[in-house]
């Protein structure tokens, strides 16, 4: 196991906020879940893979939810971006406790708690073996953290986006509703578009399509999943540009 060769050298892992949620109590964080993810990251880090993380905020606040609560869309979006800062700090601590150096870079200046996002500096951190956590999304309302992952992966020259979710890939229909739903192992961007499959939101998806950035959608609930994904094992669904 330990001597597996990674397929990717530099990865951007998109962790949705919902994946951090405690499903029983509804609390925004579930410490065992955070620790499991951090242990999995450590395993991948030990393989020499450069890891950048884009963290979501859905476990705390989403802009669209705000509209229902009497908050304007843009204000709600800023609240959503601040939620990702909270999640990023939680991750920073858990990962650091495992002995891995971490830097948090924020798209909205919060200089007391995180570095500003500076592309070259972020790359340097990766080269030095630090995990970089990108928070505050793109810094702009009307975007998502999936779009942030597409953007950061493209500008950082990552080999792939690993989209870790609670579903183990892309299906032809909702597997929670339809037991006969079929999972795709491989897709190309145009096929995914033609079949109207939901891989990411449309802005994020177009960025990946335009920049030929592969996306691997998988579930990280099982220990070792991130390592398997990074080593190119058949896990989840991989979406690539046509060869």
User: Residue 71 Cβ, how far from ligand UDP at the closest point, in Å?
Assistant: 10
192 sits near ligand UDP (criterion: CB under 6 A): no
203 a known binding residue?
no
Contact call for residues 154 and 204 (beta carbons, < 8 A): no
Which stretch, 55-63, 93-101, 127-135, 170-178, contacts ligand UDP (CB under 6 A)?
55-63
Residues 6+ apart with CB under 8 A from 82: 57, 61, 108, 136
169 lines the binding site for ligand UDP (CB under 6 A): no
For residue 3, the tally of other CB atoms under 10 A from its CB is 5
80 has binding-site annotation: no
Nearer to ligand UDP, 41 or 231 (CB): 41
The radius of gyration computed from the CA coordinates of the chain, to the nearest angstrom, equals 17
Distance of CA 13 to the CA centre of its chain: 4
Whole-number minimum distance, CB 119 to ligand UDP, in Å?
A: 16
Name residue, tokens 């870079």.
105
Please state the closest distance from residue 60 (CB atom) to ligand UDP, in A: 8
Alpha carbon separation from 143 to 32, 119, 147, 178, 229 (Å, rounded)? 30, 19, 6, 30, 26
Question: Closest CB to ligand UDP among 58 and 169?
Answer: 58
Cα→Cα distances 13→63, 111, 178, 206, Å? 22, 24, 28, 18
Q: How many residues of this chain interact with ligand UDP, rule: CB under 6 A?
A: 24
CB of 194 to ligand UDP, least distance (A): 25
- Residues 157 and 160: their CA atoms lie apart, in Å, by 9
Of the listed pieces 24-32, 73-81, 91-99, 217-225, which binds ligand UDP according to CB under 6 A? Answer: 73-81
Report the alpha-carbon distance of residue 44 to residue 174 in Å, rounded: 30
**203 φ, ψ (degrees, to nearest 5):** -65, -45
Q: Is 28 in the site for ligand UDP (CB under 6 A)?
A: no
Burial degree of 243 (CB within 10 A; 0-12, 13-18, 19+): exposed
Is residue 88 close enough to count as binding ligand UDP by CB under 6 A? no
Instruction: Write the interaction track for ligand UDP spanning residues 98-127; mark x where CB under 6 A is met and - where it is not.
Output: ------------------------------
Residue of 8, 13, 16, 28 interacting with ligand UDP (CB under 6 A):
16
When asked if residue 50 is in the footprint of ligand UDP (CB under 6 A), the reply is no
**Which residues make up each annotated binding site?**
14-17, 57-58, 62, 77, 138-145, 165-166, 171, 174
Residues that bind ligand UDP (CB under 6 A): 16-18, 56-58, 62-63, 76-77, 80-81, 83-84, 137-138, 140-141, 143-148
């Amino acid at each position: 196991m330990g001597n597996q060769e990674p397929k990717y050298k530099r990865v951007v892992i998109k962790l949705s906020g919902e994946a951090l949620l405690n499903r029983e109590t509804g609390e925004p964080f579930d410490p065992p879940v955070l620790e499991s993810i951090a242990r999995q990251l450590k395993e991948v880090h030990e393989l020499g893979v450069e890891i950048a993380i884009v963290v979501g905020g859905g476990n705390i606040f989403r802009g669209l939810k705000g509209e229902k609560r009497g908050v304007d869309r843009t204000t709600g979006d800023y609240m959503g971006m601040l939620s990702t800062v909270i999640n990023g700090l939680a991750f920073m601590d858990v990962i650091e406790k495992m002995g891995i150096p971490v830097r948090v870079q924020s798209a909205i200046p919060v200089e007391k708690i995180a570095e500003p996002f500076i592309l070259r500096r972020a790359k340097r951190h990766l080269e030095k073996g630090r995990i970089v956590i990108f928070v505050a999304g793109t810094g702009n309302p009307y975007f998502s953290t999936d779009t942030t992952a597409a953007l950061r992966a493209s500008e950082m020259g990552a080999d792939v986006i690993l989209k870790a979710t609670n579903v183990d890939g892309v299906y032809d229909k909702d597997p929670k509703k339809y037991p006969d739903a079929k999972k795709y192992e491989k897709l190309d961007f145009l096929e995914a578009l033609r079949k109207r499959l939901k891989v990411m939101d449309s802005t994020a998806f177009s960025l990946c399509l335009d920049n030929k950035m592969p996306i691997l959608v998988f579930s990280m609930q099982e220990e070792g999943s991130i390592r398997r994904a990074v080593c190119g094992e058949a896990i989840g669904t991989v979406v690539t540009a046509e060869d």
